[in-house]
Structure 1
Amino acid sequence: MSNQQDVALQQRLSRGDETAFQETFELYFKVLVLFATKFSLDKEAAEDLVQDVFVKLYEQRDRLQFHSSLKAFLYQSVRNRCIDLIRSTKTREKHHVEIKADTDVEGLNSEELMLQSELQEKIYYSIKQLPEQCQLIFKMNRFEGKKNQEIADELNISKRTVETQISKALKRLREDIYPYLKAVLLAVSFWIS
């Protein structure tokens, strides 16, 4: 595709031209899937990831600003999503290993397992009570391991907003969880004495 054709396609996309979106999809989908598989993704995961990039392209078509060619934009978007996916997968695996190490069932008695399960339930319940955006930002930061600037870029908000929302979430968790932990510590000290 020539540079002029690329620019014309970008302009048509920005105007919301459905056929331009379809042309872009047909032109780049397969090659972007192959590109994504270079990041050690299986074909199915690569296809899902590229489809997500196209969905985002479609949803944000009227707000997108191309700093380079459409082709470069698509490749960069797929590359960034691949890196995010790899990073979040590694973070999840790390958390699973840490949780498994922390919850060695053989070393815990039934009371400890119960307390641990209740605490986990309280934490998840408290997170669900957060406003939707606050909840999303907190999960992206704590569960997906994303940095504040990454979240800001992905959600198209300021880094300061991300920091404020994480701070609100942590405050809420402290308020919700502290009374429970205080009660547990009192109960444990009662059991010990």
Structure 2
Amino acid sequence: MTIPTHTTDDELLALILKNQTTAFRELYDRYKAAMLLFAAQRVHADLAEDLVQDVFLNLWKNRSQLEIQERISGYLFKALRSRIIDNMAKNSHAKKYLDSIDAFAQSHMPTDAKVREETFMDSIEALLKRCGPQYQSILRMRIEGFSNQEIADALGISEKTVRNQSSNLMKILRSRLSNCILFLFF
């Protein structure tokens, strides 16, 4: 059955209530573009299309219970507006939820990382106490970002001595702190 193009919206609605798919298709074709434009001004274009489709899908699914007291165009745009608002509220709640999870993670993760870092640094300190004071000075200056030449000048030793002692210190640290390093990163 074809629907004449001069059929009014009220007549289309009456036919839709009688399960006429062609009348539904005509109503869809009449309002789809305007509703897409309306929605796209408020949300992303892909979402706008989904929301418009959802309005029409619900109109068709609930056609037997419909009691529209206004013009169908007003009903469609109000329904679309409600869908847009619901979607924005849902996204807002989702963002709040994700933000709260992020805040929780941020408040607990730094504590865990700090404990790990402190444990690792305590292990280094304990190991350094067994080494000489020159090793301790070299490592502390290394951690602070000094170059070999700057360390050598500050301690009054040659740069080659700094390199050799740094290399020895790194070998000692690697061999004795391998368990701590695993603990630090896992």
Which runs of 5 or more structure 2 residues have no equivalent in the other structure? Answer: 1-6, 114-186
How much does 1:18 deviate? 0.5
Q: Match for residue 29 of structure 1?
A: 32
Q: 1:84 aligns with which of 80, 83, 86?
A: 86
- Deviation string 1:61-111 (CA, Å, 9 cap, x unpaired) is 11111020111110000000001111111111111111100122533549x
Q: 1:95 aligns with which of 88, 94, 97?
A: 97
2:11 is aligned with what amino acid?
A: A
Q: Match for residue 14 of structure 2?
A: 11
Q: SS where residue 62 of structure 1 aligns?
A: helix
Q: How does 1:107-126 map to 2 (within 5 A)?
A: 107=110, 109=112
- Deviation string 1:150-179 (CA, Å, 9 cap, x unpaired) is xxxxxxxxxxxxxxxxxxxxxxxxxxxxxx
- Deviation string 1:93-141 (CA, Å, 9 cap, x unpaired) is 111111100122533549xxxxxxxxxxxxxxxxxxxxxxxxxxxxxxx
Q: Match for residue 60 of structure 1?
A: 62
CA distance in 1, matches of 2:34, 2:111: 51
RMSD over aligned CA atoms reads 2.2
Q: Match for residue 71 of structure 1?
A: 73
CA distance in 2, matches of 1:86, 1:67: 27
CA distance in 1, matches of 2:101, 2:14: 49
CA distance in 2, matches of 1:13, 1:33: 21
CA distance in 2, matches of 1:43, 1:29: 13
Which runs of 5 or more structure 1 residues have no equivalent in the other structure? Answer: 111-193
| TM-score, length basis structure 2 | 0.54
2:8 is aligned with what amino acid?
A: Q
User: Residues 9 and 27 of structure 2 are in contact (CA less than 8 Å); yes or no, is this contact kept in structure 1?
Assistant: no
1:53 is aligned with what amino acid?
A: V
Larger Rg: 2
CA distance in 1, matches of 2:8, 2:83: 26
The number of equivalent residue pairs is 108
Q: Identify which of structures 1 and 2 has the higher relative contact order when contacts are C-alpha pairs closer than 8 Å and 6+ apart.
A: 1
Q: Percent identity?
A: 28
| TM-score, length basis structure 1 | 0.52
CA distance in 1, matches of 2:62, 2:102: 40
Q: SS where residue 59 of structure 2 aligns?
A: helix
CA distance in 1, matches of 2:13, 2:109: 59
Runs of 4+ in 1 over 4 A off after TM superposition: none
